[in-house]
Copies of this chain bind each other. A is one copy, B any other.
Amino acid sequence: MKRWGFILVTAAVSLPVWGADQPLVLASQGSFFVGGETKTSPTLGGPGAAGAPAAPQDVTINQMYVQYQKPVNADRHVPVVMVHGCCLSSKTWETTPDGRMGWNEYFVRKGRSVYLADQSSRARSGFDATVINAVKSGAAPPSQLPNIFAASHQTSWTLFRFGPEFNKAFPDEQFPVQAADELYKQMIPDLNGTLPTPNPTLKNMAALAVQLKGAVLIGHSESGFFPEEAALEDPSGVRGIISIEMGCPEKKPDELAKLAKIPILIMFGDHLGDVPGRFANTWTTNFDTCQKFVGQVKQAGGDAEMMSLPAMGIKGNSHMLMQDKNNLQLADLILGWIDQHVERTKSARR
């Protein structure tokens, strides 16, 4: 192969690598799938044959698409897996709606290998469309169609706590509301209603952590408690758990005992009780369930921390805090927590 296409990389001194104005140096990048099973589908025969092909054929379902970037010297830190919430894709973690650096790149620039997963049934992971074609052809009743969720502009604004009512922002709002239209483009239909129980994403996250020989799992909103659930499926690869803005379901003592072996960070933003109407109690209730969960994990001997941003003097953060104007400040809090609770633990064990 010809050796052309050279770039001269010269640096007399060490370069600060976190700035968006600095080149990003990757040891490697790529994408792959975790999980997935073959299903013989009566309605998915191939292009041009929707509805009822001649014979049932095989498709792959429940796989999880993962895109990764590794910095140079990636082995100094534990890899980080980021999983998005409802009605969103991994775009969540990338360039913010107003065009700033997302957590995905910032974490890489801070020396972490980052793995972005599209939830099974969402975005590049695909979904099982069998039943939709079956209903179209009359082979199944409309009631069997999945519930498809989408977050409207109106719902996003208030549920994500940009302000007290649609198109009115809180005075100290950290979400870049002038770019809300760009967030709305990220909101895509949620087809988790097509998935079996338990959600394959949980098993896939646990398997990815094993494949990486240890990883910190980060979930947000719909997927906020997925790291805990993944660890309950298989804790062997889960080195740390970061859960952002979700409800914490009641866990049994044996489950709490398992989770108490893994450092857990929970993070909530501001204005939890400041949205009137349909979502008035959503966030305060979620916060309370997680506060209780943190207490229970601690009681079981675990290392769990509730990081309430306003309680730390960091005001105005929305539900989409990885996109908020102070998103890199919050990333630093998380990176610091990983250093202290996940990686120091590793050294201590040696």
Contacts and interface: CB of A to CB of B under 8 A. Distances in A.
Interface of A: 1-3, 5-11, 14-18, 20, 23-33, 36, 38, 41, 44-51, 53, 57-60, 63, 65, 67, 71-73, 86-87, 89-91, 94-95, 99, 101-102, 105, 109-111, 118, 123-127, 129, 132-133, 135-136, 138, 142-143, 145-156, 159, 181-182, 184-190, 193, 222, 328, 332
A126 B185 CA distance: 8
What are the nearest 5 A-B pairs in CB distance? A126-B188, A46-B155, A57-B152, A30-B95, A136-B145
Contacts of A159: 46-47
A33 B185 contact: yes
A111 B7 contact: yes
Contacts of A86: 47
User: What is the total number of copies of this protein in its complex?
Assistant: 2
Contact of A45 (B24, B138, B152, B186): B152
A53 B150 CA distance: 11
B150 A143 contact: no
Contacts of A193: 50
B47 A25 contact: no
Nearest to A23: B25
B123 A153 contact: no
Nearest to A141: B142
B50 A1 contact: no
A54 to B, nearest CB: 8
A348 B143 CA distance: 63
12 contacts: A7-B72, A25-B26, A31-B91, A46-B159, A48-B149, A49-B155, A59-B150, A59-B153, A63-B185, A124-B186, A136-B147, A142-B142
Contacts of A149: 46-48, 50
Contacts of A94: 30-31, 67
A48 B147 CA distance: 9
A45 B188 CA distance: 12
Contacts of A150: 41, 44-46, 59, 129
A94 B65 CA distance: 12
Given A9-B15, A124-B90, A184 B25 contact: no
Contacts of A59: 150, 152-153, 184, 187
Contacts of A90: 124
Contacts of A189: 44, 126-127, 129
Given A26-B26, A125-B188, 5 more contacts: A5-B110, A30-B99, A47-B222, A60-B181, A118-B124
Given A24-B26, A142-B142, A155 B57 contact: yes
